[in-house]
Structure 1
Amino acid sequence: MGGQPVSPRDLEELSHRDADWAGLKALVTGLGVSGFAAADALLQHGAAVVVVDAGSSTARERQETQAGILGIMGADVRIGPEHVAGWPDGLDVDVVVTSPGWPPHHPVLAEAQRRGIPVWSEVELAWRLRPLTGAAPWIAITGTNGKTTTVQLVETILRAAGLRAIAVGNVGTPILDAVQHPEPFDVIAVELSSFQLHFTHSMAPAASAVLNLAPDHLDWHGSLEAYAADKARIYERTKLACVYNVQDPRTETMVEEADVQEGCRAIGFTLGTPGRSMVGLVEDVLADRAFTEQRATSAVEIGTLEDLEHASGGTVTPPPHLVANALAAAALTRAVGIQPAEVREGLRAFRTDAHRTAVVAQVDGVTWVDDSKATNPHAAQAALAAYPSIVWVAGGQLKGADVDELVAGVADQLRAVVLVGVDRAQIAASVARHAPDVPVHDLGVTDHGDMEALARLMDDVVARSAQEARAGDVVLLSPAAASLDMFPSYGSRGDAFSAAVHRRLGTGGDGTGSQGTGEQG
């Protein structure tokens, strides 16, 4: 190629980092974390790069810094809404590398596809920038919920086995950073969103999983069918094992329809007793009937529920969704040769991230739990299913999702409901239909970014919840909705809730009482 225009056929040759990338003309859409990483990687390999972004008032300083760095490296960076309203004037490129936030119907991407210009995700670019020989295998994970926990469980188990491993992708660290790290990894665990999978065409993971499927991001995909089709792409070309959820038959259908490599196995995970080629639960034992020679008649113990004690805060029985995530992670790691004792060690070492059914405090028999990460009804259902008696704190942006099925399913568990956020009325109406005797406290909505007002709101949320809660109850912040109507992120929403709990109860960050007794101070 050597600096000449790249034809579509030439793009097929760009399948590893040692190929001749010089002369490639690339348009990178979006100047977020993944967009910056993609532009940086392309420039380092000699490509000519144009970057476009609408610009962001909240991230202006970061974008200006990134644009300056890329400009020094030789990129043409164009920031402003006029640069993304349609195809950039006079632009001739061979490939578009797009960021996850850009839907396929975006004017720039739609025009690229109309012109026959290939569109890659940053995941596709990362796969093509692996070394020709000795590339680390990928373990790829998607699903509506549980992706982050599962990919981090995989990372922890791999490290417990003595491997140099990293969790990347939608979890935070760009995949490109891991692929190009000067000290190569043994295995890379990749969390993938449906957005990232949509424009991923050649990835061939060692093992892959779709954890579950529920309506989400339909505004991006257009339909549940399109959303599911993008999730299913993760199984394509898988080498060793496609892991599916026995409780969600749609994921097994995805495996059956996938074009996998010769010898790839279908492995189920279940909260019930595992059948052959499954991992599951036998009483309190995590059992493997997939990766043992005696799987026709017996199973191998890979852990127990007690091994997940620290992962669930050390104070409660592991919730079902955490157990399911652990089983999926066990199946994925067993597929790449990890031994049962190493799986157990990883489960024992794992700690759940903040804002995922994290115990904030336990006072007077009431447990306060931050599950702010539950940004859709399916995620909230997983948390609500774990507790028999709940004061539920909910609300935010439902993104078009329906909450009727969720509320109907947990109606008998609700002590009271405390609502905030722009779409709280929809949840209130559902509670009125399915749990009419449950008290509902509507606390309104506060302007986005006014953190002092939001702190006062959370103080009110905690006060109302405390009035309703009885010994044995769980006060559960599991909003079933996104946070951006009020908060900068689900993390800041969870932090505000936790801070308000500690203010009211006089507890410290360890969840104990002010005198270390667990009693209200």
Structure 2
Amino acid sequence: MGSQEVSTVDWQGKHVTVAGLGVSGIPAARALRERGALVTVVNDGDDERARAQAAELEALGITVRLGDGATLPPSTELVVTAPGWQPDKPLFLAAAEAGVPVWGDVELAWRLRGDNGRKAAPWLAVTGTNGKTTTVRMLASILEAAGLRTAAVGNIGVSLLDAVLGEREYDVLAVELSSYQLHWAPSLRAHSAAVLNLAPDHLDWHGSMEAYAADKGRVYEGNTVACVYNVADPATEDLVREADVEGGCRAIGFTLGAPGPSQLGVVDGILVDRAFVANRQQQAQELAEVDDVSPPAPHNIANALAAAALARAFGVEPAAVRDGLRAFRPDAHRIEHIADIGEVAYVDDSKATNTHATEASLAAYDSIVWIAGGLAKGATFDELVTGAAKRLRGVVLMGADRALIHEALTRHAPEVPVVDLERTDTGAMSEAVARAAELARPGDTVLLAPACASMDMFTNYNKRGEAFAEAVRARADESA
């Protein structure tokens, strides 16, 4: 199927099983039932919330089976799954044995785009281990600055099904895709796509780094204009080489250094384009200044370059790249400057839940008191500590797996003072901030970049970041 062709499926009477009652499963079940499909929803859980959701769907003529997500219903012709369900679940093994295809919510959205009779908007897709949400939101800001009707959708929280089936018409969609979503999206064909970086993550789901990378690489399949890769991460370029793309599609690199032909990069504090210019061997187009990017941390500049590359692939003019980057403000808990107290900056990067994200965060500052720890999810910290050791003024550790980071610090940065907090109550973050302030000197940055998940002490990384921000602001009020 070509990139912009719209797939037509006769849903009338088709037996479809939807796996999971959730943010993607419920809209999928509704959309399929509206098109005449005979829908059965299966769900592992059987709690009060699930029963209430089931009642609403059953009123629409949808069958719901609670407490049994493992068995494939008889007569199933297609399974549509929530992205988080692992590929080795018995339901999917049974589907494979019966020759029944499995789609994710992204695949369904791709197949249904244009189903409402409107022109199907092309997709500019972004994936990678870290930086996806920021890059997609930067991209949407740039597209809006160009006067295009767009939205940031996908794994970012706005359902792709809602975007493609809703009443609003779009010129182009900025789409964030996770490795889970890409695994279940065999026919997705984006206009252009970017893989920002690759680092070990979700290996329990994918089974291996090779399988994880392969699912990320699916985003390049069938691209028509540009496959955007990270020059500093050769694995992303390898995925471009392996992809089966449309004729004329180009490999476009982004780099924090001076760009070569067919690349975007940085020269003397200016973001420049040597890819989408008339004579890329000899010409470069200025797009924006580094200071137009907020915050101008190295990994965020890389995100901006990737967003700019996708926008330029779609024909956006340089001025819109500049205006869109100037207008963009990052989400909370992503390198968010909270306050300056006594010439010490306090920065919340609670979203840095793995070592790759934390490595980028630590690289953004010269002298750091690092607050870290939580659930390690099988990660090791030797490489992270080795790379950051010379930047560390001190470290405050908290959370269930803090000992793993402490051991790495003992091995690779024994001279760095470490405060080990055993407490896990709600006041622990306040103590962490207080102890970090004791270690800090004027010109330092106290940085919450945990390199771990939050669920041992907090509901999610947002709550962890909020606790940090509250502790910092309380301290700022005391010193005022």
TM-score range, shorter chain: over 0.9
Is the counterpart of residue 102 in structure 1 residue 85 in structure 2?
yes
How far 1:480 sits from its partner (Å)?
Answer: 0.6
- Which of 16, 25, 30 is the matching residue for 1:40? 30
Aligned counterpart for 2:345 among listed residues 360, 367, 370: 367
Within the candidate set 393, 397, 400, 1:422 is matched to 400
Check 1:243–1:16 CA distance in 2 against 1; reply closer, same or farther (3 A cut).
Answer: same
The alignment's C-alpha RMSD in Å is: 1.7
- Asked if 2 retains the 8 angstrom alpha-carbon contact of 1:445 and 1:486, the reply is no
Matched, 1:146 2:150: no
Offset of 1:445 from its aligned partner?
A: 5.3
Deviation at 1:66, TM superposition (A): 2.7
Counterpart position of 1:511: none
**Which residue of 407, 428, 438 corresponds with 1:467?**
438
Letter in structure 2 aligned against 1:461 = A
Q: Distance in 2 between matches of 1:187 and 1:218?
A: 32
Contact 2:106 2:181 in 1 (8 A): yes
1:441 counterpart SS class: strand
Counterpart pick for 1:393 among 371, 378, 392 = 371
- 2:58 corresponds in structure 1 to 71
2:106 paired with 1:87: no
* Equivalent residue, structure 1, for 2:391: 413
Note if 1:242 corresponds to 2:220: no
The CA deviation at 1:79 is 2.1
Find the aligned partners of 2:144 and 2:54 in 1 and give their Cα distance. Answer: 36
Q: Which amino acid aligns with 2:428?
A: L
> Can you list the C-alpha shifts for 1:220-251, whole angstroms capped at 9, x where unaligned?
11111110010001000111100000000111
CA distance in 1, matches of 2:433, 2:244: 51
Number of the residue aligned with 2:40:
50
Q: Is the contact between residue 8 and residue 111 of structure 2 (CA under 8 Å) also seen in structure 1?
A: no
Q: Secondary structure at the match of 1:368?
A: strand
Q: Distance in 2 between matches of 1:270 and 1:157?
A: 19
Tell me how far apart the structure 1 counterparts of residues 52 and 297 of structure 2 sit (CA, whole Å). Answer: 43
1:176-187 equivalence runs, <5 A: 176-187=161-172
Task: Give the structure-2-normalised TM-score.
Answer: 0.96
Q: Tell me what 2:421 maps to.
A: 443
Matches of 2:52 and 2:46, distance apart in 1: 13
Q: 1:347-366 residue pairs with structure 2 within 5 A? A: 347-366=325-344
Counterpart-to-counterpart distance in 2, 1:56 and 1:479: 34
Deviation, 1:18, is 5.6
Q: CA deviation digits over 1:396-428, x for unaligned, max 9?
A: 111112211111100111111111111111111
- What letter corresponds to residue 77 of structure 2 in structure 1? D
Give distance in 1, aligned partners of 2:413 and 2:381.
13
Q: Tell me, yes or no, if structure 1 residue 300 matches structure 2 residue 285.
A: yes
Count of residues in correspondence between the two structures: 476
2:18 and 2:25 in contact (8 A); partners too: yes
Cα distance in 1 for partners of 2:148, 2:252 equals 23
The residue that corresponds to 1:275 in the other structure is 260
Determine the C-alpha separation between the residues in 2 that align with 1:43 and 1:398: 42
Q: Deviations over 1:54-109 (max 9, x none)?
A: 2276xx53x344323212111111222xx02x324x53211111112111112212
1:496 aligns with 2:449: no
Instruction: Measure, in 2, the Cα distance between the counterparts of 1:329 and 1:16.
Output: 26
Q: In 1, Cα distance between the equivalents of 2:370 and 2:91? A: 42
- Give the distance between the partners of 2:186 and 2:10, measured in 1 at CA: 20
- Residue equivalent to 1:260: 245
State the SS of the aligned residue for 2:79: strand
Find the aligned partners of 1:427 and 1:106 in 2 and give their Cα distance.
33
CA distance in structure 2 between the aligned counterparts of 1:96 and 1:367, rounded to whole angstroms? 50
Partner of 1:381, secondary structure, is helix
The range that moved more, 138-147 or 478-487, is 478-487
Output the CA distance in 1 between the equivalents of 2:75 and 2:388: 55
Question: Do residues 137 (structure 1) and 122 (structure 2) align?
Answer: yes
CA distance in 2, matches of 1:403, 1:111: 39
CA distance in 1, matches of 2:33, 2:184: 21
Rounded Cα–Cα distance in structure 1 between residues aligned with 2:281 and 2:432: 53
More moved, 327-336 vs 63-72: 63-72
Question: Take 2:429 and 2:374, find their aligned partners in 1: how far apart are those partners?
Answer: 13
Distance 2:103 2:97 in 1: 15
Distance 1:378 1:56, change over 3 A: farther
Contact in 2 for aligned 1:268/1:279 (Cα 8 Å)? yes
SS at match of 1:50: strand
Partner AA of 1:21 in structure 2:
W
Residue of structure 2 in register with 1:122 after alignment: 105
Structure 2 alignment gaps of length 5 or more: none
Distance 1:19 1:232 in 2: 27
Paired position in structure 2 for 1:338:
316
Letter in 2 for 1:70: L
Task: Answer yes or no: is the 8 Å Cα contact 1:303–1:344 preserved in 2.
Answer: yes
Between the aligned partners of 1:168 and 1:95, the Cα distance in structure 2 is 25
TM-score in terms of structure 1 length: 0.89
Aligned to 2:15: 25
Q: By how many angstroms is 1:22 displaced?
A: 1.0
Counterparts of 2:46 and 2:339 in 1: how far apart (Å)? 37
Q: Which residue of 2 aligns with 1:487?
A: 458
Letter aligned with residue 40 of structure 2: V
Quick one: distance in 2 between partners of 1:304 and 1:283? 9
Counterpart contact for 1:422–1:445, Cα < 8 Å: no
% identical equivalent positions: 55
Cα distance, 1:17 vs structure 2: 7.2
Distance, in Å, in 1 between the alignment partners of 2:359 and 2:388 is: 8
- The aligned amino acid for 1:111 is A
Work out whether residues 396 and 482 of structure 1, in 8 Å CA contact, stay in contact via their aligned partners in 2. Answer: yes
Mapped to 2, the partners of 1:286 and 1:459 lie a distance apart of 39
Distance 2:198 2:439 in 1: 34
SS of the residue corresponding to residue 33 of structure 1 reads: coil
Whether the aligned pair in 2 keeps the contact of 1:241 and 1:335 (CA below 8 Å) is yes
Shift in Å at residue 444 of structure 1?
Answer: 2.6
